[in-house]
Chain A
Amino acid sequence: DIVMTQSPDSLAVSLGERATINCKSSQSVFSSSNNRNYLTWYQQKPGQPPKLLIYWASTRESGVPDRFSGSGSGTDFTLTISSLQAEDVAVYYCHQYYSNPIAFGGGTKVEIK
C-alpha cells in the first residue's frame, strides 16, 4: 500500500505571505500511460467535507483562486498558497488515487500568524 506523508503538521503564516505544504508518497503516483500524477489536494474547514483544490497534482479545480498552486511529480509534491488570506485557514490534505487502496496524508493545519 502507498503511504502518504505530509509536512509540516501545522503552519502559521502572516496574511499575504506564502504558505508551502509538502507531501511525499512511498511509491510513485505517476502514470506513464497518460503522463499524469494521481495526486489531489483538499481543503477542509470545520464542519465541512473536504473541498477539492487541485487534481493531477497541478490542475486547479474550477472556481479555486489562483493563489493556490500544486507542483511536483512522482513521489514529491507541494501545495503553495502564494498570498495567504484569512479564509484560507483550514486543514489541507494530499491524497493519492493512483493505486488501491487510496491513501491520505495526515493533514496540515494552516493558521494566521
Chain B
Amino acid sequence: EVQLVESGGGLVQPGGSLTLSCAASGFTIGSSWMYWVRQPPGKGLVWVSRINPDGSGIGYEDSVKGRFTISRDSAKNTLYLQMTSLRAEDTGVYYCVKSIIWGQGTLVTVSS
C-alpha cells in the first residue's frame, strides 16, 4: 500500500526554523515527482515545493524561495522540507503529495 506520513510540525517563533519529514512506503520516492502542499487556516491548497525523480527539477513557490529547501534521503525513503526564517503567513497544514496520494498533514504554527 502506498502511504505517506508527515511529521515535524509544531509551534515556532517568527524567524525560527523547522524541518518537516515525509516517510514514504509502498513506492520509491526517488522514482516520482514529490510535492509539499500547504493549506493556510481556512484557505485553499497551494504547492510550495517540488522535486522531480532525478533531482534536477526542484522548484519553490515564490513566497518561500530562499527560505525553504526540499530534499530527500533515498536510503530512508523520506522527503524533507527545511524551513527557515519562518513568518506568520507560513502557518498552515503541510501535506506531502505524490500524484493523487496524500499524507495526513502536519501543522506548522508560526507565532510569538
Contacts and interface: CB of A to CB of B under 8 A. Distances in A.
A40 interface: yes
Interface stretch (A13-21, A22-30, A76-84, A96-104): A96-104
B105 interface: yes
Contact of B50 (A49, A52, A101): A101
Contacts of A107: 44-45
| Chain B: interface size category | 20 to 34
B95 A104 contact: no
A106 B35 CA distance: 18
B57 A97 contact: no
Nearest to A100: B33
Contacts of A100: 33, 50, 52, 57, 59
Given A49-B102, A49-B105, A50-B102, A102 B97 contact: yes
B100 A55 contact: yes
B46 interface: yes
B74 to A, nearest CB: 20
Contact of B103 (A49, A93, A97, A102): A49
Interface of B: 33, 35, 37, 44-47, 50, 52, 57, 59, 93, 95, 97, 99-100, 102-105
Given A52-B102, A100-B33, A102-B50, 17 more contacts: A49-B102, A49-B103, A49-B104, A50-B95, A52-B100, A95-B100, A97-B100, A100-B50, A100-B52, A100-B57, A101-B35, A101-B47, A102-B47, A103-B47, A104-B44, A104-B46, A105-B44
